[in-house]
Chains A and B, each alone.
Chain A
Amino acid sequence: MRYLLLLHRTADDLPAPGTPEADRLLAEYGASVAAMAEAGVLIDCAPLSATSSATTVRVRDGAAILTDGPAAELHEQVGGYALIECANLDEALGWAARSPAARDASVEVRPVVEVRSR
């Protein structure tokens, strides 16, 4: 069964690129991804660019309304994702707990609905 791990971060806490903190964080994320790949559970993953680069689209009464920024201004925002294949929720939770995002902010674990095309 597939699970989408939504890796959150608190809005302002990314260390500047090139600093030791940034390098450490990159290494931690890298290790967590490598572990999932080695275990054969990783299907896909990627970091997302900052929420300042987001645009939100809403169509109301046939008109498209654009907002500069994420859908909701929350303290925590999605910073990346990992799509994994696991036998059950406990396995998925185990992988989520090992992501640095779980320690620094939160990871939402969502089962992916399996839709069979007919």
Chain B
Amino acid sequence: MATVTRLVGDLDVAEEAVQEACAVALTRWPVDGPPANPRAWLVAVARRRAIDRLRRDALRTGKELAAVRAVDVEATAVGSGDDQLGLLFLCCHPALDPAVRVALTLRAVAGLTTARIAALFLLPEATVAKRLVRAKQKIREARIPFDLPAGARAARVGDVLRVITLVFTDGHVAGLPSPDASARREVAIGLARALHGLLPEDEEGAGLLALLLLTDARRPGATGPGGEPVLLEDQDRARWDRDRIVEGLVLLDGALRRGRPGPYQLWAAIAACHSSAPTAAATDWRRIVGLYDALGRVEPSPVVAANRAVAVAMVDGPAAGLALLDPLVEHPQLRSWPPLHLARADLYRRLGRSGEAIAAYRCALALQPSAPEQAFITGRIRSLAG
């Protein structure tokens, strides 16, 4: 699929041609026997069909036939890793809307059906279908190229990392774990593995995979028997996925050794602090504060500041944390972010200031979080009021 896209220059036509080639293979190979180089055969057949289709389109509309690369098809068998990377880069092109990038990557790279993508994001199938049509139209009409412009690789890898992160978190940083996220997270981890496999030297790619593994390893402990979310400090750590934690730690260690600790590695290091702590009390909060300091230097954001404040509260006490959190309430990006109010409420609660705690919980409730989160918050309000 990736190779034919590169040869033909049109994602939509390539997809159709590859499907047709596979259909031919399914009927012919059982009868004639498979060819010596099945991949080259499929690429050659798909390419011919794509050219035929483009020629028919060109005759019908009078438009010029887009240049199709003449290439030694046998030689393309070698380029497959580069082509997959190229397809991933294409799907994550910054000229495409972020939601569109996500849908296209899941379709063209992860091979998910439109229905499956819709199910993973709780969207109507028609919405996803429309995004995919938009994506392919934009790529064709604006002529978004398969190849990267010179010097664009680092930025485009960043775009890919952001898309994979969106698949994992569904576009917002959840304050509390959501029970039906697991299938989507697995897809994200699969994409992160693919990227890491294609670019093993990229330390941020390794950082992202480590981050996802270390975060997802906690999933078995993150929900209670009734499907309700469980706070990190209350989770049964024996239920965490040991294998994923070890894999994440090894990956992170390898990445950090390269000496370029970018944001994904730093987020992974913070996740590692949590996931490797044997008990909540044993968590190295001082190190976490230091990591947020580093994040604040390479990729400052109000979310980083808020998270750092929570960590500071664990080291220097709730009052110190509140001194940093309260000013953030007015920040336009954080005002409608439930975790900020939940964190403030928790710190007020620990200081015994129930009135202010309840007020902060009510702010979070007013932002209409998910049903499990609402249940958790109202439970907290009840226990404070009582």
Q: Which residues of A contact B (CB under 8 A)?
A: 1, 87-91, 93-94, 109, 111, 114-116, 118
Contacts and interface: CB of A to CB of B under 8 A. Distances in A.
Given A114-B63, A116-B63, A116-B64, A87 B145 contact: yes
B62 A116 contact: yes
Interface stretch (B136-144, B205-213, B255-263): B136-144
B152 interface: yes
A90 B144 contact: yes
Nearest to A1: B143
Contact of A94 (B64, B141, B149): B149
A94 B95 CA distance: 12
26 contacts: A87-B143, A87-B145, A88-B143, A88-B145, A89-B95, A89-B142, A89-B143, A89-B144, A90-B144, A90-B145, A90-B148, A90-B149, A90-B152, A91-B149, A93-B95, A94-B149, A109-B142, A111-B141, A111-B143, A114-B63, A114-B64, A115-B62, A116-B62, A116-B63, A116-B64, A118-B62
Nearest to B66: A1
Given A93-B95, A94-B149, A88 B62 contact: no
Between A1, A90, A115, the greatest number of chain B beta carbons within 10 A of the residue's beta carbon is seen for A90
Contacts of B143: 1, 87-89, 111
Contacts, number: 30
The 5 closest A-B pairs by CB, nearest first: A88-B145, A116-B62, A90-B149, A89-B142, A88-B143
Nearest to A110: B142
A114 B66 CA distance: 12
B137 to A, nearest CB: 11
A30 to B, nearest CB: 25
Nearest to B94: A93
Nearest to A86: B143
A90 B63 CA distance: 22
Contacts of A91: 149
Contact of A111 (B64, B142, B148, B149): B142
Contacts of B152: 90
A94 B145 CA distance: 13
A115 B152 CA distance: 32
B375 to A, nearest CB: 44
A90 B148 CA distance: 8
A116 B149 CA distance: 29
A88 B144 contact: yes
Interface string B91-124: 0000100000000000000000000000000000
A109 B94 CA distance: 14
B187 to A, nearest CB: 28
B327 to A, nearest CB: 30
A1 to B, nearest CB: 5
B221 to A, nearest CB: 45
A87 B67 CA distance: 11
A114 B63 CA distance: 7
Nearest to A94: B149
A1 B149 CA distance: 17
Contacts of B95: 89, 93
A10 to B, nearest CB: 21
Contacts of B64: 114, 116
A115 B310 CA distance: 60
A28 B138 CA distance: 31
Nearest to A111: B142
Nearest to A109: B142
B136 to A, nearest CB: 14
A89 B148 CA distance: 11
Contacts of A89: 95, 142-145
Contacts of A90: 144-145, 148-149, 152
Contacts of B149: 90-91, 94
Given A116-B63, A118-B62, 8 more contacts: A87-B145, A88-B144, A89-B95, A89-B143, A89-B145, A90-B145, A111-B141, A111-B142
Contacts of B145: 87-90
Between B142, B148, B152, the greatest number of chain A beta carbons within 10 A of the residue's beta carbon is seen for B142
Nearest to B145: A88
